[in-house]
Amino acid sequence: MNYFSTNFTLGILGGGQLGKMMLYETRKWDIRTSVLDPSAEAPCRIAADNFEQGDLMDFETVYNFGKKVDVLTFEIEGVNVEALEKLESEGVKVYPSAATLRNIQDKGVQKQFYKEHQIPTSPFKVYKDKYELNEAIVRKELHFPFVWKSCTGGYDGKGVSIVRSAEDVIPLSEDACIAEKLIPFKNELAVIVARNPSGEVKTYPVVEMEFHPEANQVEYVICPARIDDAAANKARAVASKVSEAFKHVGLLAVELFQTEDDEILVNEVAPRPHNSGHYSIEASYTNQFEQQIRAILDLPLGNTESKVGGIMVNLVGAESHTGPVMYKNIEKILAMEGVTPHIYGKRETRPFRKMGHVTIVNKDLNKARIIAEEVKKTIEVISE
């Protein structure tokens, strides 16, 4: 198949920052793209050859969009799977597949999948609504504390709560949910696995994530993770097992816990480029977006090793600011060594809204970590 400077068209469901960064790679290779997103102001509105505005959860919209492309992918899990299934049955290549997405979209189904495939994960129960959850608590089948997760729609800390008492149950949504055992862990890790239709598989190095204590969003992603080789190898092995079980095509970002006893547990996965892989744009031989394109087009996978150490800092809206965005002190961080900001192109900031990220690279990871803290202290995402 000849993808380069031809009429071959890659369709992308979702036109947010992940799609936008994917478009750097399609532009680099002159691969024709068509993007569907509900917002006319989506970051992908330019740089795609064709942009359509429409509802990603609407069967007809997704189906009609998919009929006009040669390969269809997505940058967000919240898309109409029935439409993907129909498109697949009619010969459109959908990568990752509708089946992969079905196993991931619903967190209850995803946990069940791990159980069936003997993939280590924290013990859990699925409840079809809040009524069932309450009943389990009342009957003392479910004990505090536990981790509550909405089965659908949760991301960036939304749809996840640590429930320590009956009071914490009150604000939870009515939706189907899972309750997981709260397991003390010493590290939150992630491994990105790439797989193409020919079955070639490559894993990226293990990264370490530090979370913002209040917003429950990732604050630093550090590559490579500062863990010993045994733990890193174990994490990569578990991630490979997950990838093997899903037989996905494209990227699979596998989020992991390293427990106090050095067990590796799968937290959850995302079948797409992931926040934990943004460091790769500056640090890796093959960045995750290029790798995604290679994988879904069945091209050979690229080298996943790093040229230099990389740390990623999310740029989120400051707590008390809502309105037109201003990146205060951005010129100061640009003067720091190895610092690259990425601005997603959202005009309005809101508290904790993901507005961009900054990568800090350095041959010495410890130096990068010091500079990352400077970056964090210096730049502010405020409104004018």
DSSP codes, 77-137 = S-S-HHHHHHHHHTT-EESS-HHHHHHHHSHHHHHHHHHHTT--B--EEEESSHHHHHHHH
The residue among 22 and 193 lying less far from a copy of itself, judged by its C-beta, is 22
Q: Is 181 annotated as a binding residue?
A: yes
Q: Which of 302, 298, 300 is nearest to 70 (CA)?
A: 298
**Do 181 and 257 meet the contact criterion of CB atoms below 8 Å apart?**
no
Q: Is 84 annotated as a binding residue?
A: no
To a copy of itself, the closest distance from the beta carbon of 113 in angstroms equals 32
Q: Is 314 annotated as a binding residue?
A: no
Q: Is 265 annotated as a binding residue?
A: no
The residue among 40 and 230 lying less far from a copy of itself, judged by its C-beta, is 40
The residue among 102 and 328 lying less far from a copy of itself, judged by its C-beta, is 328
The residue among 319 and 348 lying less far from a copy of itself, judged by its C-beta, is 348
Q: Is 41 annotated as a binding residue?
A: no
To a copy of itself, the closest distance from the beta carbon of 202 in angstroms equals 12
With 0-12 / 13-18 / 19 or more C-beta atoms within 10 angstroms meaning exposed / middle / buried, residue 230 is exposed
CA distance 29 to 287: 14
To a copy of itself, the closest distance from the beta carbon of 379 in angstroms equals 11
The residue among 307 and 377 lying less far from a copy of itself, judged by its C-beta, is 307
Angle at Cα 316 formed by Cα 104 and Cα 35, nearest 5°?
50
Q: Is 183 annotated as a binding residue?
A: yes
Per-residue tokens: 231: 């733990």
The residues of the shown chain that bind a copy of itself, judged by CB under 8 A, are 2, 4-5, 20, 23-24, 27-30, 43, 46-49, 285, 290, 294, 299-300, 302-303, 307-308, 325-327, 330-331, 334-335, 337-338, 340-347, 361, 363, 384
**Do 73 and 250 meet the contact criterion of CB atoms below 8 Å apart?**
yes
Binding-site residues for ATP sit at: 107, 149, 180-183, 188, 267-268
